[in-house]
Structure 1
Amino acid sequence: MDDLEKRIRKVEDLLEKYLENDYLVYIRHILASYLRLINIYVEYGKISPTIIFPEIKDSISREIIEILFSYGSLNTSQITDELKKSRGKASRRIVREKLNNLVEAGIVECDERKNERIYSISEYAVKKWLKVLGINIKGDVHKE
């Protein structure tokens, strides 16, 4: 029986050693992130940054968020043009109104340059999206 106990202890020690290995922890994290993405896709039918803001109900604001995530910093006219491509029409007045609401909500930032306002996704929104994707931010491991 001592021989069997020694073998079991040796197997347990090896398992413990490998389960605490940093590389395997990293691989488990990647797999968990991948499974999270699959679950998002199954639940919502797509992987979109608007998923992290369920409080944003109107479709124009949701599309503005996607446009800014896709293209980066844009002015009101550029955002309106992108909306026209996807929706067929868009009003600068409505786009400005939606942008102001998104700025108030902290999802979008506005940088005023001379006579132009440039809009971009806020750092808060980017961090929230990266967390949903399971991506480490500044060495912060997202654990389940």
Structure 2
Amino acid sequence: MKATWKHHEDNKALDAKERNDLPASVYAFPEKRKEPLNNASHVRNAIARFDQVKDVSDHEREQAFANIKAAAKHYGVEMTETDWHDLGKKPPPPTRNTKSQPDLKLDKQPSKLQPDALSIFRDADIRRATLLHYTLSN
């Protein structure tokens, strides 16, 4: 889809009146006048919040994506997304590798570890780990 975005000479922070005075061609969503793209900061914001924009059709999102790409190129904002479906999505949080950790089973009393698990954590090891933790946290 061809971008409808056009550079606007004023790329400063906007108050409500100035934002209302902008031409529709400055917005990512020109028909709804959502997400102004008048400077690099606004372009980065439009990329990050793209999936949060409400009450727009898929066609409007496609148009907005083309507009954001054009504005990003103009303002030198790096964009790695190649499709509008990718905009605004955050990568999943890193998962912990639990396979290398010992399986600590609890017996009937949750406060006590079973003897085989206790052999892993000797008193000296616990003291060293506590001292290391205290040293690193201060």
* TM > 0.5: no
Place the TM-score, normalised by the shorter chain, in its bin.
Answer: under 0.3
TM-score (norm 2): 0.28
- Between Structure 1 and Structure 2, the one with more strand by share is 1
When Rg is computed on C-alpha atoms for both structures, the one with the higher figure is: 2
